[in-house]
Copies of this chain bind each other. A is one copy, B any other.
């Protein structure tokens, strides 16, 4: 009798985005006249065309595959050298950050990587996640059997939740107890918060003292404008002993539909086997990659490499500036409407406290039905997200300006 992975049965049915879609569809069915007015600022998906450098490189790559001479079959599972080298040089070394070519593992995206990384860790690790949190961190741990059952509020037994609140500026405090794996994400999804060097140093010191590993998600790194905000965990002294970094071209280059990301695992990083012996994490991840992955598409890797050319970098800057300009407008509109707001400065998300005593879904419904704007209820990201909502800056300027007008009309006194 084929036995299923029972841990899947612990997963909560009401996943955030399906519930949002359900409410939106119900509203549109009841009010079809509102459909053309609807503006979606929910899901964090890019809307603008890709940088021209990536477009041209991908056309060339497709043409290569039409020839005998430049045909590319299976590539290295860990990624082509020319892409790994471009990443090492242009995403790290140029900023003075020590990352080597063979510490980079190219993939089809950070969502896959942050999920798959659990393959190389054993059972019995104590795992800490922020609250609110990107749901993938939690759900993949549920699937892997690293949690107990779900509680009433949607949290899971066995995980250590790190509250992110206005009091700590949405940068979690160190846990009071010992943990082994720590998920951190800056610039943060959903709150848009960034961590300072001092705050990250505190976490690195905690991890080193506890032989813990930080799983550092910097998928939104490209949005960092403030030179004092660290772009990588590896800017922090000691991090090479205790951290894995996840990055993505999804937001940097608008690659959400193209699919490319990467993981950085320093050679110094070790886990421990059951006997307490050190085992290099990069050896495990490399083996996992060779066995369960066949490399990202050649076409896609060519597109990603083009983002690091001079033209590619200039075009990426324009793209990032567009979204950050949107974020600034949304931040300002919410503030003008009297809301308490966070994020939106080095991040594409604005995080706001719900006004008028509304809870997250109450605010969602009001925005949907009265302003015809779809936002994301903060409670969907965890119990500490209750009373907040997220607005995504991934949109056209025209739509964002209209959303700002509607927020003003709805809330400004």
Q: Give me the interface of A with B, judged by CB distance under 8 Å.
A: 1-6, 8-9, 11, 15, 43, 45-50, 52, 55, 58-59, 62-63, 65-68, 71-75, 108-109, 111-112, 115-116, 119-125, 136, 139-140, 143, 180-181, 210-213, 254, 256-259, 271-274, 276, 279, 281, 284, 287-288, 290-300, 396
Other than the given A5-B121, A136-B292, A139-B291, 15 more pairs (CB < 8 A) read: A2-B181, A2-B211, A2-B212, A3-B271, A3-B272, A4-B272, A4-B284, A5-B284, A6-B122, A15-B290, A52-B66, A73-B256, A111-B292, A140-B291, A297-B300
Interchain CB contact under 8 A, B4 and A124: no
Asked if residues B125 and A3 are in contact (CB atoms below 8 Å), the reply is: yes
List of B residues within 8 angstroms of A396 by Cβ = 68
Contact A73 B58 (CB under 8 A): no
Bound-state CA distance A291–B15 (Å) is 10
Q: Is A2 within 8 A of B213, CB to CB?
A: yes
Chain B residues near A292 (CB, 8 Å)?
111-112, 115-116, 136, 140, 143
Q: What's the dominant secondary structure at chain A's contact region?
A: loop
Give, as a whole number of angstroms, the nearest-CB distance from A50 to chain B.
5
Q: How far is the CA of A52 from the CA of B67 in the complex (A)?
A: 10
B-side contacts of A125, CB under 8 Å: 2-3
| Contact A58 B62, beta carbon cutoff 8 Å | yes
Best-surrounded residue of A47, A211, A297 (most CB of chain B within 10 A): A297
CA distance A44 to B31 in the complex (A): 56
Name the 10 nearest CB pairs between A and B, nearest first.
A115-B292, A4-B271, A45-B73, A3-B122, A1-B211, A257-B298, A73-B256, A72-B257, A2-B213, A259-B297
A3 touches B274 (CB 8 A): yes
Known: A256-B74, A259-B295, A293-B112. A272 touches B136 (CB 8 A): no
> Is B121's CB under 8 angstroms from A257's CB?
no
Q: How many copies are assembled?
A: 2
Known contacts A1-B272, A3-B180, A291-B115, A66 near B43 by CB under 8 Å = no
A290–B111 alpha-carbon span in the complex (Å): 10
Verify A257–B297 contact, CB threshold 8 A: yes
The one of B4, B121, B122 that contacts A122, using a Cβ cutoff of 8 Å? B4
Chain B residues near A180: list those with CB within 8 A.
1-3
Q: Is the CB of B4 within 8 A of A296?
A: no
Q: Given contacts A2-B272, A49-B68, are A112 and B74 in contact (CB under 8 A)?
A: no
Please pick, from B73, B116, B291, the residue contacting A46 in the complex, using a CB distance under 8 A. Answer: B73
Chain B residues closer than 8 Å to A136, beta-carbon distance: 291-292
Query: Could you pull out 20 A-B pairs where Cβ atoms are within 8 angstroms?
Result: A1-B180, A1-B211, A2-B180, A2-B272, A3-B125, A3-B180, A3-B274, A4-B120, A4-B273, A4-B284, A9-B279, A47-B71, A108-B297, A119-B143, A143-B291, A257-B298, A258-B298, A259-B294, A259-B297, A297-B297
Q: Which of A43, A213, A295 has the most CB of B within 10 A?
A: A295
> How far is the CB of A312 from the nearest CB of chain B, in Å?
14
Closest B residue, CB atoms, query A120: B5
* Docked-complex contact A50 and B65, CB < 8 angstroms: yes
Residues of B close to A119: CB separation below 8 A: 5, 143
Residue of B6, B59, B62, B140 near A273 (CB, 8 A) is B6
Bound together, the chains give a CA A139 to CA B74 distance in angstroms of 19
Distance (Å) between the CB of A86 and the closest chain B CB?
Answer: 19
Cβ–Cβ < 8 Å partners of A115 in chain B: 291-293
Which B residue sits closest to A139, measured CB to CB? Answer: B291
Cβ of A113 to closest chain B Cβ, rounded Å: 10
CB distance from A374 to the nearest CB of B (A): 15
CA distance in complex: A281, B4 (Å): 8
**A77 and chain B: residue at smallest CB distance:** B111
* Chain B neighbourhood of A47, CB < 8 A: 68, 71, 73
A11 in contact with B287 given A2-B125, A140-B292 (CB within 8 Å): yes
Closest residue of chain B to A288, judged by CB? B143
